[in-house]
Amino acid sequence: MKILLIGDVVGSPGREAVKKIVPEFRKSSSIDFVVANAENIAGGSGLTPQTADELLNSEVDVLTSGDHIWKKKEIYERLNNDLRILRPINYPEGCPGRGHTIIKGSAGKAVGVINVLGRIFMDHVEACPFKTTLAVLEGLSKDTNIILVDIHAEATSEKIALGRFLDGRVSVVFGTHTHVQTADEKILPGGTAYITDLGMTGPHDSVIGRSTAPIIEHFLTSMPAKFEVAENDIELEGAIVEIDDKSGKALSIVRVKESIKDYS
């Protein structure tokens, strides 16, 4: 099974990249399943039912999220009713939605996806990402041996530690949140594919997706500024992971960087 993992999709430029690239890329690369981090798709922060549907209708199978999941209240009801849209698993009980799901890929193989939020340098201190992830693995593993984990976190050490902790227990651990693609993709000793951050899908002539000038001005003066989503140099970043259907172990992981200019 070949799975495409897409780094944080930012605003309308990111959604446009997904719409133009993913359907064609699925065909050309024989992709069976697609996961995209969607917590920044609506105006650069949060997601709405309409923006979520844009990605789901562009052949994305599951949307993960992170600390911006609660920015748009209109998504709350959808989180309760749509198994394809996840919020981090380690938010308290009573929050809308769920943090894990099982969805069948194009070849009919069931894929488990877990979304978890890191704690280091993040705005919210939630339940332990290690313990909460481990707690749901037993149930998921009864229904599928292919399990993907999105660790949405700031600290590279926390992401790496979770990857090592879950090595041999899941198929892939991939990081999101920083919008900067890392060059440390690898297969860990236990057969789990790992990358610290998938990167960003959106405008790369920017500061992590936002227009450059106001951000520089903010750093220079510390004065409030409106950070608009940038528009130029739109790329899709992520990784392709090939997984053995029988064992659930990863066979390979390759970084992806595709420019929207190369797609009609």
Q: Other C-beta atoms within 10 Å of 141: how many?
A: 15
- Round the average pLDDT of the chain to a whole number and report it: 95
Tens-digit pLDDT profile for residues 180-214: 999 999 999 999 999 999 999 999 999 999 999 99
CB 176 within 8 A of CB 66: yes
108-137: average pLDDT: 92
Q: Give the contacts of 171 (CB within 8 A, at least 6 positions apart).
A: 145, 146, 147, 148, 192, 193, 241, 243, 248, 249, 250
Q: Spell out where the chain has E strands.
A: 2-6, 8-9, 33-37, 62-64, 100-104, 110-117, 147-152, 172-176, 186-187, 193-195, 200-203, 234-243, 250-259
pLDDT value, residue 123: 76
CA 198 from chain centre, in angstroms, equals 8
| Enzyme catalytic residues | 68
pLDDT value, residue 107: 86
CB 8 within 8 A of CB 177: yes
pLDDT value, residue 122: 86
Q: How far apart are CA 243 and CA 173, in angstroms?
A: 13
Q: Which of 90, 100, 9, 99 is nearest to 56 (CA)?
A: 9
Q: Spell out where 153-203 has E strands.
A: 172-176, 186-187, 193-195, 200-203
Please tell me the pTM assigned to this model: 0.96
Tens-digit pLDDT profile for residues 143-154: 999 999 999 999
Residue pointed to by tokens 């970043």: 237
Q: What percent of the chain has pLDDT over 70?
A: 100
**Statement: residue 97 has pLDDT above 90:** yes
13-33: average pLDDT: 97
Tens-digit pLDDT profile for residues 163-183: 999 999 999 999 999 999 999
CATH 3.60.21.10 fits 2-205+235-262, yes or no: yes
